[in-house]
């Protein structure tokens, strides 16, 4: 019988990370990582003047 462990939030990193682990008999048999935040920067920069796109993409991550 497998068990699922969820670690959310993962701290000491930038952003909102979540880890799901499936554990069976003391062993990790499957694992997923997922970002829990989305701003749609791909859509924000679409059709924009390329000269100002850096302003937006630069803010993917401020670390």
Partner 1 sequence: MKDGFEGLPDLSGGPGERLLARGVSRRDFLKVCTGIAAAMGLPLGMGAQIAEAVTNPKRPPVIWLSAQECTGCTESLLRTNHPTLEKLILELISLDYHETLNAGAGKQCEEALKKSMQENKGKYILVVDGSIPVKDGGIYCKIGGKTVLSLLEEQGSQAAAVIAIGSCSSWGGMPSAYPNPTGATPVHAIFKEKGIKTPVVNIPGCPPNGYNFLSTVLYLLTFKKLPQLDEEGRPKFAYGRLIHDNCERRPHFDAGRFALEFGDDGHRKGYCLYKLGCKGPETYNNCPTLLYNDAGSQAWPVGTGHPCFGCSENKVGFNIPLHTPAVLKDVTPPVNFPGIVEDKGKGVTVAGAAIAAGVAGAAIGVAAATSKNLGKKDKDKGKSDPESKES
Site residues (CB under 6 A) for ligand SF4? 59, 62
Dist CA 31 CA 40 (whole Å): 25
* Shortest Å distance, C-beta 3 to partner 1: 15
Residue (3 or 59) nearer to ligand SF4, CB:
59
Dist CA 25 CA 27 (whole Å): 6
Residue (2 or 54) nearer to partner 1, CB:
54
Binding-site ranges for partner 1 (CB under 8 A):
6-16, 36-41, 43-44, 49, 51-52, 55-56, 59-63
Which contiguous run of DSSP H or E holds residue 21?
strand 17-24
Dist CA 21 CA 19 (whole Å): 6
């Amino acid at each position: 019988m497998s068990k699922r462990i969820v670690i959310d939030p993962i701290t000491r990193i930038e952003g909102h990370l979540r880890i799901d682990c499936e554990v069976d008999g003391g062993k990790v048999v499957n694992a997923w990582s997922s970002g829990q935040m989305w701003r749609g920067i791909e859509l924000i920069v679409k059709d924009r003047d390329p000269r100002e796109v850096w302003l937006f993409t630069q803010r993917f991550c401020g670390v």
